Structure 1
C-alpha cells in the first residue's frame, strides 16, 4: 500500500471524492504542512491506495479534475493546490504526471509537488463527512455535483 497527500479544495469534498475510488484503502482528512518553502498547514487528505488497483497517475488526474487546479484565487492559502509526496520517487513521478496532464487544461496548472512534512487530522465529528449524512445541504450542493462529475468522467474514459 502506498500513500500520497492531496490538497486543493475543501477536505470534506476531497475526502468524499477519493473514498469513492476503487483501489483507495483509506482517506485521512485534515491539514498537511509541507517541508520548506510551504510550511503552513492547508486543508488536504492523505490517500492510502493499492497501486495494483489505482495508479498515482490516476489519483493525480482525478485530483486535478476535482478542484480549480488552474485558479489562483484568494483562498489558496487555506486550499493549496498540491500533491504532497513521501519520497523522491513519488516527487519525480508527480512532476512528470503533472507535465503530462497539462495538455488537458487551457490554463497553466498551479498544482505544486511538495514534500510531505506533517499531518493534523480533523476533529472526529468531521471525519467521513459525506458518508455520515449525504443529505446535508453542503453534501447535496457542493460534494454531490463533484461526485457526479467524476462519475461521468470515469464512465466516459472507459
Structure 2
C-alpha cells in the first residue's frame, strides 16, 4: 500500500535536485518549480532568473513514506548540495538558488529543524538553509521537467549534475532505486 507524501525543497538549480531524487527508492514523482516569492501571478523561468521575484527554484517530491521517510529525504537533500552558502550553489548566485525546505505541515516543520540540528556538526560552516511554510508551488515550464534525463549530453549536466549524482551514489547507495 502506498503512503504518498510530498516534500518541497530547493538547493540551487532545480535541474540538479530533480536528477538526485529521481534515483531515490520510494520517490514516485519529482516536479521542478518555483516557490517562496512575492511577485503576483505565476512566475516564468526568465522572471525567476532575474532574482527580482523572490521565488526559489525548488522541486516537489512525491514519495512513498512506507519506503523512504521524510527525514531520509531531507538527509539526502542536505548532503547533496551545500547548505552553508547563502543564496549560492557553485556558480549560481541569487536568492532563487537559496537552500530552502518548504514544509507542508507542523510535523515536517519539526523534522526539518531536527535534521538541520543533527547535521550541523558535520559541516565546517553554519547551515543557512531556510525553513519556511510552503506558500504556493508553481510548476516550472515543461522544458525544465526531467532536464537531466532529456539533456544528458549537455555540458551543465556533465560538469554540475553528474558530480552530485556521484556523491549521492557514494553517500546513499542503500537508498537508491
Question: Scaled by the length of structure 2, what TM-score is found?
Answer: 0.80
Change (3 A) 1:95 1:140: same
| Counterpart for residue 104 of structure 1 | 122
1:113 aligns to what SS in structure 2? strand
| Counterpart for residue 170 of structure 2 | 152
> What are the Cα deviations for residues 25-83 of structure 1, in whole angstroms up to 9, with x where unaligned?
11110111279xxx931101011111111111111111111211011256241112111
1:106 aligns to what SS in structure 2? coil
The 8 Å contact of residues 18 and 32 in structure 2, kept in 1 or not, is answered as yes
Q: Please give the alpha-carbon distance, in whole angstroms, between the structure 1 residues aligned to 2:81 and 2:125.
A: 14
Listed as ranges, the matches of 1:86-97 within 5 Å are: 86-97=104-115
Provide the aligned length of Structure 1 versus Structure 2.
Answer: 154
Listed as ranges, the matches of 1:26-41 within 5 Å are: 26-33=29-36, 40-41=54-55
User: Unpaired segments of 5 or more residues in structure 2?
Assistant: 39-52
> What are the Cα deviations for residues 114-148 of structure 1, in whole angstroms up to 9, with x where unaligned?
10011111111221001113122111111111101
Question: Scaled by the length of structure 1, what TM-score is found?
Answer: 0.89
Q: Please give the alpha-carbon distance, in whole angstroms, between the structure 2 residues aligned to 1:106 and 1:57.
A: 22
Listed as ranges, the matches of 1:7-22 within 5 Å are: 7-22=10-25
User: Unpaired segments of 5 or more residues in structure 1?
Assistant: none
The 8 Å contact of residues 30 and 120 in structure 1, kept in 2 or not, is answered as yes
The 8 Å contact of residues 34 and 115 in structure 1, kept in 2 or not, is answered as no
Q: Please give the alpha-carbon distance, in whole angstroms, between the structure 2 residues aligned to 1:110 and 1:46.
A: 20
- Which of 55, 71, 77 pairs up with 2:69? 55
Q: Once structures 1 and 2 are overlaid, which stretch shifts more, 128-137 or 12-21?
A: 128-137
